[in-house]
Amino acid sequence: MAFKTDCEGFSRRDVIKIGTAGVFGLTLPQLLQLEAQAASNSKAKAKAVIMVWLAGGPATIDMWDLKPDAPEGIRGEFKPVATSAQGVEISEHLPKMGKVMDKATVVRSLAHTIPSHGTATVWMTTGNKPTPALQYPVLGSLGAKLLSAEDGVPPFVSFGELRGGQAGTSGFLGTAYNPFIIEGAAGNGANASFRVRGIQLPNGFTLDELDNRDALLEGFDNTFKQVDRSADLVDGLDAFHKQALEILRSTKTKKAFNLGEETAATRERFGNTPFGQGALAARRLVEAGVRFVTITLGGWDTHSQTFNAHKTRLLPQLDTVLSALIGDLSDKGLLDSTIVYCAGEFGRTPKVNKNNGRDHWARSQAVVLAGGGFKGGYAHGTTDKEGMAPATDPVTPDDIASTIFQQLGLNPKHELMTSTGRPIQLFREGRVVEKLLS
């Protein structure tokens, strides 16, 4: 059964996404050079990224950038309250996040120009403004392509799809970087189970039988490749298939998804919801060597009754899960090497509409970053007195992506080659925002 969560009719469930690895588009000497640079680069503060994606466009003016002195039709119903970060106030309905804001940065001056779910999602999740001429890869595909990954760990896995035809895919990198698919989070707590489509054996099927079948398929594949050497697709699927076999033969993935190994207190800390247990699995996947994980909570497309939806349904879930994720990573000594990035495709209108809701608004929004060398207890930039647009230190999705990748030890201006030999910068318009970094 599908659930509609935004006004443009896209159906989704709470999902997890994880980043991938490979060498498509690079020669072996180039790959070895990049890996050596990444290993020796003193600027590589982070090893992994966990993106908390708020699908539908969260009303960040009611979350991270409240305007209590604005006119009645703008300021909303929620009050700002003090946090553990001196001088940084957030919504009264995010009390648990208030306790960990000393470990996080809130960026209040992010803006772009696309108030449509699909294309805005592409921009925010790729760090490049969408264009019909080229399909850009999602951040997880980029990071995993350029960073080594642990053997036997699913490098890029998706529990579902991001909003938009281009969103959530490997774009011009080729099919080898498309996500593995995670299905379901059946049960809660210790009983939560995850199935990775394409890397789970059918009932009664053994690994020996798989090896025999794989040898047979390889013979067929080689024959087909000789017939069709325009084989970007074939080669990509072959690399994807080999990754799946490595994962199947490994115990790392199964162990990472075994939430029963966590204490009851830890599972409870994250909350017994698919979103919460997915976040806990994300932390375990990072521990296992995964480079990029995205946990998604939908339902933020609140054109009507936005304050009731935020107060009763959306903010309590986000408050529990995001604070638990940041706190748990910190407790385990993983926050310094893991970037947590909480964002949606755009914000909501400062002006409250006749249905007591807020509509699409891309000209101003706020995002939260923590760990991986980002400052703690810091609020970056401001919006004008009514929250309409950035007033100081404006940033773009490209800038955020560039800054994240610098923290991963990668040059945001590094060029990759498309299958037609066209050089493409990772983030063509992005700049590193040094003020965000500790």
What's the pLDDT tens digit per position in 70-116? 999 999 999 999 999 999 999 999 999 999 999 999 999 999 999 99
pLDDT at 406: 97
Asked if residue 67 lies in contact with residue 385, where contact means CB atoms within 8 angstroms, the answer is yes
Mean predicted confidence (pLDDT) in 326-337: 98
Q: How confident is the model at residue 241 (pLDDT cuts 50, 70, 90)?
A: low
Q: How confident is the model at residue 247 (pLDDT cuts 50, 70, 90)?
A: low
Asked if residue 119 lies in contact with residue 156, where contact means CB atoms within 8 angstroms, the answer is no
pLDDT at 113: 97
Pick the CATH number of 15-436 from 3.30.479, 3.30.43, 3.90.550, 3.40.720: 3.40.720
Report the C-alpha gap between 234 and 237 in whole angstroms: 5
Please return the burial class of 237, using the count of CB atoms within 10 Å of its CB with bins 0-12, 13-18 and 19+: middle
With the CA atoms of 396, 397, 401 and 402 taken in that order, what torsion angle do they form, in degrees rounded to the nearest 10? -30
What would the two tokens of residue 14 be?
């709470």
What would the two tokens of residue 326 be?
């940041």
Asked if residue 128 lies in contact with residue 136, where contact means CB atoms within 8 angstroms, the answer is yes
For residue range 230-239, what is the model confidence (pLDDT) as tens digits?
Answer: 445 445 445 6
Mean predicted confidence (pLDDT) in 327-337: 98
Q: Out of 44-58, 199-213, 230-244, 362-376, pick the least confident.
A: 199-213
Q: How confident is the model at residue 227 (pLDDT cuts 50, 70, 90)?
A: very low
With the CA atoms of 251, 252, 254 and 255 taken in that order, what torsion angle do they form, in degrees rounded to the nearest 10? 110
Report the C-alpha gap between 320 and 301 in whole angstroms: 20
Q: How confident is the model at residue 242 (pLDDT cuts 50, 70, 90)?
A: low
DSSP-derived 3-state class of residue 188: coil
Q: Which of 395, 410, 427, 420 is nearest to 138 (CA)?
A: 427
Question: From its phi and psi, is residue 164 left (phi > 0), alpha (psi between -120 and 50) or beta?
Answer: left
Q: Which of 293, 308, 294, 274 is nearest to 59 (CA)?
A: 308
Q: Out of 183-197, 203-217, 253-267, 290-304, pick the least confident.
A: 203-217
What would the two tokens of residue 35 be?
């890996």
pLDDT at 106: 98
Element spanning 132, H or E? none
Mean predicted confidence (pLDDT) in 388-413: 97
Q: Is the pLDDT of residue 194 over 70?
A: no
Mean predicted confidence (pLDDT) in 364-381: 98
pLDDT at 240: 56
Q: Which of 119, 95, 39, 53 is nearest to 320 (CA)?
A: 95
For residue range 51-75, what is the model confidence (pLDDT) as tens digits?
Answer: 999 999 999 999 999 999 999 999 9
Name every residue whose Cβ is closer than 8 Å to that of residue 222 and which is 6 or more positions away in sequence: none
Query: What's the start-to-end Cα distance of the chain, in Å?
Result: 45
Strands 80-82 and 104-110: unpaired
Asked if residue 18 lies in contact with residue 293, where contact means CB atoms within 8 angstroms, the answer is yes
